Amino acid sequence: IVAGFKEVREEEKRQLVGNVFSSVASSYDLMNDLMSGGLHRLWKDRLVSMLNPFPGMKHLDVAGGTGDVAFRILETVNSIKRRALQDVLLDELQEETRIYICDINPNMLNVGKERALERGLAGDKSLVWVEGDAEALCFEDRTMDGYTIAFGIRNVTHIEKALAEAYRVLKRGGRFLCLELSHVEIPVFKELYDYYSFSVIPAMGELVAGDRSSYQYLVESIRRFPPQEKFASMIADAGFQKVEYENLVGGVVAIHSGLKI
Ligand code: SAM
């Protein structure tokens, strides 16, 4: 009975996450900017700078529907290529870069594809859009140089399965990076942040996106997500080495990293 109950709860979570992201897809960018005061852009910049992208790399951005992380990686790769072109080093950079953007929700992928179109990147072969589940990736073992997941792992049903899949698809020497809303432990700031999350965010969701419950879900999912140290130990348990994390804005978000050796 307990196992059956667990399955129902898991199915409910899967459906809830699907509904939430279908519902917020159109207002996603605006709400991200409003809720974070635009800071999510800097956090994503930091994530990509820690990745150290390079021309020819094979990269997987999971839960990457909007393309936000993928576009940054591509920009970095292209600027390295431009510099290399000036230095006539291009011969060494001929291998094709591939950035796979994998997301379970086709509506979120459509947001990303539209944004690629607006940026003139619709026909760019480096970007590959894939509908798929973080827990059962449709990629071969040891094929990726890098794996990123931004504001996504909190939503998967079994975090351990997603981490095991990240480990499986990475090559030796490949880097895992996860940007996620995390836990603030600084007194006073924590109280202010709690007030902001529980009162302001759902109200903002209702006012701007006409959707209070999706933003209520967002706040609750942050509370349920494991704290920084616990999540770091889960990454190590998946087989990653040199596991570290960096808190940004006192732990409002954290970037965890690990290396497959
Ligand atoms: N990475 C993007 C960003 O930072 O703007 C989007 C983050 S959005 C908060 C979370 C994304 O996770 C949604 O697009 C959702 O569809 C996706 N997602 C949820 N569960 C997933 C799963 N099991 N596998 C892949 N993507 C998933």
ipTM, 2 decimals?
0.99
Ligand 1 atom having least distance to the Cα of 18:
16
The closest residue, in CA terms, to atom 6 on ligand 1 is 64
Closest C-alpha among 7, 5, 14, 4 to residue 133:
14
For ligand 1, the distance from its centroid to the CA atom of residue 79, given in whole angstroms, is 27
Query: Amino acid identity of 56?
Result: G
What DSSP state is assigned to residue 249? G
| pLDDT on residue 6 | 59
The closest residue, in CA terms, to atom 13 on ligand 1 is 63
The closest residue, in CA terms, to atom 14 on ligand 1 is 65
User: What's the CA gap between 19 and 74, in Å, rounded?
Assistant: 30
Q: Which residues of the chain have pLDDT under 50?
A: 1-2, 5
| pLDDT on residue 215 | 87
The closest residue, in CA terms, to atom 7 on ligand 1 is 151
The closest residue, in CA terms, to atom 10 on ligand 1 is 152
Q: What is the dihedral of CA 161, 12, 33, 116, to 10 degrees?
A: 70
Query: Amino acid identity of 227?
Result: P
The closest residue, in CA terms, to atom 2 on ligand 1 is 64
What is the sign, positive or negative, of the torsion defined by CA atoms of 58, 62, 65, 69?
negative
* pLDDT tens column, 243-260: 999 999 999 999 999 999
For ligand 1, the distance from its centroid to the CA atom of residue 146, given in whole angstroms, is 17
Ligand 1 atom having least distance to the Cα of 218:
9
For ligand 1, the distance from its centroid to the CA atom of residue 83, given in whole angstroms, is 33
| pLDDT on residue 14 | 77
As beta bridge partners, residue 179 has: 150, 255
State the Cα angle at 130 between 13 and 167, rounded to 5°.
70
Query: Amino acid identity of 210?
Result: G
Q: Are 54 and 239 in contact (CB under 8 A)?
A: no
Residue 231 burial (CB < 10 Å; 0-12/13-18/19+)? buried
State the Cα angle at 49 between 170 and 215, rounded to 5°.
85
Ligand 1 atom having least distance to the Cα of 134:
24
Q: Are 65 and 134 in contact (CB under 8 A)?
A: no
* Residues whose CB falls within 8 Å of the CB of residue 247, separated by 6 or more in sequence, listed in order: 182, 228, 253, 254
As beta bridge partners, residue 130 has: 102
Q: Which of 28, 44, 105 to mutate to test the pocket of ligand 1 (most atoms within 8 A of CB)?
A: 105
Locate 125 and state its tokens.
């072969």
Q: Are 212 and 202 in contact (CB under 8 A)?
A: yes
Pocket lined around ligand 1, Cβ cut-off 6 Å: 17, 21, 62-66, 68-69, 103-105, 108, 133-135, 150-152, 155-156
* pLDDT tens column, 23-38: 667 777 788 888 899 9
Ligand 1 atom having least distance to the Cα of 179:
4
What's the predicted TM-score (pTM) here? 0.91
Q: Which of 20, 39, 104, 129 to mutate to test the pocket of ligand 1 (most atoms within 8 A of CB)?
A: 104
H-only helix segments in the chain: 2-24, 28-36, 39-51, 68-86, 106-118, 159-169, 189-195, 201-209, 212-224, 228-237
